[in-house]
Each structure stands twice: as C-alpha cells, then as structure tokens.
Amino acid sequence: MPTHFRRDELEQLSRLGRTMEGPELISAYNSWARSHGFIQRRARSLLPALERVRERRAGSQWHQEEVNALLSLVGNQPLRYVVQAHHRWADKHGHPRRSAAAIRFQLHCRGISAGACGAWILVSLVRKLTGRSASTLNLWVRAGVARRGTGPSDWSLCRRDIVRLARKRPLWFAGISRANLIQLLESDDLVDRILELCPPGNPGRGRGRAVMVVQLGRKFPSCAAAAKACHLERHSVAAALREGRPAGGYTFRAVAG
C-alpha cells in the first residue's frame, strides 16, 4: 500500500485529528476516503502522518517574541533584508525560519506596510514625491548615484544616496514642494538650498529657463543670454545651475520666467 499522502488527504486528516483519536479517527478517515475515491489507510501509516501534520501545524503558529522581533526590523529596509535578518534572529533563538510570504502575511494582518520608509525608500514613493519617472530613477541607479534593493516587489533606493545626489545636483530636485522634499531628504538645510536655487513651480530644467546672475542683479531669459553677458560658454552656466556652484566668478540661480 502506498504511503504517500496527497494534499486533500492531509487536509482531511488534519480536520479529523482536531476532534478524534485512535480507532474513531481511522474509521472516519477511511469512510471519507471511500466516498472520495482515495485509498483506505491502516493505522500504521495513518497515525504517523497525523503526527507530522500536527507538528507542522504547531510550527506554523507564531510566538509573541517572533512577532516582536519582526516588528523591530520592519520599516527601515526592504522586505528581503527583513526576511534575512529575521532568519538570523530565528537561528540564534531556536525558532523556525519563516518564509517571505509568511512574514508579509503577518505584517498585512497588523496593517503594517512591508515597504521601507527609513534608510530605504520604495521607488513608488520616490516617484510620488519627486514626480520623476521610473526610467529617470533607473538612470540614477545605472549612473551609480543611487543603490537599489533587489526584486521587483521591493525595489527601493537608499535614502543616503538620494541625499548625496541632492547635495551634488540640487537642480535635479527643482520644482518639488517643500513638504515632499522634507519627507524625501529629511534635511531642512538641504531643502532650503534647493528651494533657494529654484522655487517650487519652476521646473528649472531645459533650454530657455530664466536665469538670475546674483553679482549683476539681473535676470536673463535663458542660459545662453546669461552666458553671453558674463562672457562664458552656455554649457558652463548650465552646469553651474545643475550642480549649484559658481562659474567664472558668478553665481547663477534659476528663477521664474
């Protein structure tokens, strides 16, 4: 007689095992097996299978200390890293390793997002805050200015890399509201610098933008006009605006046209 149990058999055995024992269980199971076209089982194969089912069911229940350890890891890193950290904790404290699906389900039941919101930020949130496309954020990653988490479900960017990029290329964040910049960068000084270079509502990108030359106190309709007045190349003024640095002894700011 084959000893392999199908999934339907194990599920029925688990249901019966909650309320029955011994001969009563064996009789009830074989009655069900006959009516559903499954093989009838003897006690020597049925009872060990029931014990395995009970052990598996007991192992699927989370202890409170497992839940507490999980909650302490959530919110500061992508789900994949949460799973790895929880596995390390489980090995150290003698608990079973939980799958990513089980961990995600525990978080869902408690109304907690599996997305990072601290050191790592979900790309969907970065897109919402910045208004930038997914292809633009992909360029950040390929250019090496931002690190990316792994897996399509938890694609996240490192907040530290985004802050470093904002310091080096402040005009890449032009046109974003103060509230969104604060949530993204968590730095009042950096946000003030970005808003000073390019106020919200002015995209500050592309040809034809208005440019203020601070030393001259004059506003020019484009980078080319400002460059001509300062005897510089247009690309030098554009780079100065993009990187937030002086060029040729002049300070340039993008302003509303």
Select from 49, 52, 53, 27 the least CA-distant residue to 40: 27
DSSP per residue over 116-130, as a string? -BSSEEEHHHHHHHH
Inform me whether the pLDDT recorded for 186 exceeds 50: yes
Q: What is the mean pLDDT of residues 158-180?
A: 83
pLDDT in tens, 98-108: 888 788 878 77
Inform me whether the pLDDT recorded for 167 exceeds 60: yes
Per DSSP, what are the bridge partners of residue 252? 213
Residues 6+ apart with CB under 8 A from 245: none
pLDDT in tens, 187-219: 888 888 888 776 655 544 444 468 888 888 888
Q: How many CB atoms lie within 10 A of CB 197?
A: 22
Inform me whether the pLDDT recorded for 149 exceeds 70: no
Q: Which residue has the tokens 């046209």?
A: 257
Q: Could you tell me the pLDDT band of residue 257, with boundaries at 50, 70 and 90?
A: low
When mean pLDDT is compared across 14-18, 30-34, 49-53, 94-98, the lowest value belongs to 49-53
Q: Where are the beta strands (DSSP E) in 31-131?
A: 120-122
How many secondary structure helices (H) and strands (E) does the chain include? Answer: 13, 5
The residue ranges of every structural domain in the chain are 7-59, 64-109, 121-197, 210-255
Instruction: Report the predicted TM-score, pTM, of the whole model to 2 decimal places.
Output: 0.42
